[in-house]
Amino acid sequence: MFRRLAVAAAAGTTLLLAGCSSTQAGQATATPGPTVVPPGSPAPTEPPQPSRPAEPSEPAYSNWPLGEIVLPLRPDGLGEISATPRPLRDRRYPTEDLLPPPTDGLFVSSVGPVTPEIRERMGETYAEGCPVALADLSYVQVVFRGFDDAAHTGELVVATSEAEGIVSVFRALFRADFPIEEMRLPTTADLDALPTGDGNNTAAFVCRPTTGQTSGFSAHAYGLALDLNPFMNPYLKDDVVIPERASSYLDRDDLRPGMVEPDDLVVREFARIGWSWGGDFTTLKDYQHFSALDR
C-alpha cells in the first residue's frame, strides 16, 4: 500500500441442549412401563420432537491468497487497476496477532518514545531528510476489534502532539465494535513489495511525498495522518484506485463492515481531535485518509 502511494507520487464451546427436565431433590419418579395396544387399534405414533438448535459455527472468511498474485505494472509504476476478486467484495479475514492481545479482551493503550528497536523495525519508512525528528514521534499501541470479533493489539507511529488524541479515537472505535483487519508498522519490506493490490493495513507514519505530486511531503511524513482499512476505503483519482483491487468498495452505497461513511462515528471521532477526512476532498476521494493537516 505505502509503496504504491510512494510510486504514484513519484510518477504523478457453548453446547445447546433441548428437551431437558429435572425433578426436585428427594422426589420419586415413576418408571413408565411398556405401552399396551389393544387389538385392532392403530399403532401409536411418536410425538413430534423439538428441533435441535444449530451449533454455532465459525464465520465465513475470504479465501483470496493475500499478497501472492502480483499485478502487471502500469507505466506510472502502479499495478494495473483490476476488478475486485469475488472473495474480496465483502472482505473478512481473521487478524494475525503480531503483538500479545489483551488477556481480558478490554481496551488498553500505551504511548512511548520511538526506541532504537522500533526505529530499526521502521526501516526505510524513516530516513535522513524526513521533515520530523524521531524525538517528535511516539510509538502507540491500542486495542482494536478484528473482523474475527476478537480483541487485538495494534501499533502506530504518530506525532507526539497527536498521540493521546489518536488513542481516544481508537478507544471509541473499539467500544463501538468498528472492525479493523490489521494495524502494524509499515517496514522496508512494504516499500519494496511488488503490487498485489490487496493490502489492508491501518497505519500512520511513512516518510513519503504527497500522493500524485513530485514534491512536498505527505502529512504521513509528519506523523499527522492515518489510513484506516484502506481496502474498504480506497483512494480514487481519475483512473487510479489504491489499493488496485479495491474498486468494488468505491460503491459507497453498498455499505459493508469496515467502511467509513460521511458523518459516521469514525468521521466524528477524528473531527473531535481536529482531523479531517479524505472522503470530503473535492478533486479526489481518499476514503481511508484522516489528517491533522487537511491534506
Q: Per-residue pLDDT tens for 134-189? A: 999 999 999 999 999 999 999 999 999 999 999 999 999 999 999 999 999 999 99
Strand-pair partners of 158: 138
Separation between Cα atoms, residue 2 and residue 294, nearest integer Å:
19
> According to the model, what pLDDT value does residue 33 have?
46
User: Which residues in the chain land under pLDDT 50?
Assistant: 10-37, 39, 41, 43-47, 49-55
**168 located within any domain:** yes
Q: What is the mean pLDDT of the chain?
A: 86
**37 located within any domain:** no
Nearest to 113 by CA among 143, 134, 142: 134
Separation between Cα atoms, residue 163 and residue 144, nearest integer Å:
16
Strand-pair partners of 289: 227
Separation between Cα atoms, residue 138 and residue 119, nearest integer Å:
11
Grid-cell match 472473495, residue found: 87
The residue type found at 92 is R
Grid-cell match 505505502, residue found: 2
The residue type found at 280 is D
Nearest to 186 by CA among 198, 210, 159, 204: 204
Q: How many domains does the chain have?
A: 1
**28 located within any domain:** no
**206 located within any domain:** yes
Separation between Cα atoms, residue 261 and residue 281, nearest integer Å:
13
CA distances from 19 to 23, 49, 53, 90 (A): 14, 8, 11, 38
**207 located within any domain:** yes
Domain limits at 213?
105-291
**222 located within any domain:** yes
This model's pTM is above 0.75? yes
Between CA 187 and CA 253, with CA 289 as vertex, the angle to 5 degrees is 125
Per-residue pLDDT tens digits for 202-214: 999 999 876 555 5
**98 located within any domain:** no
**30 located within any domain:** no
SS3 state of residue 18? coil
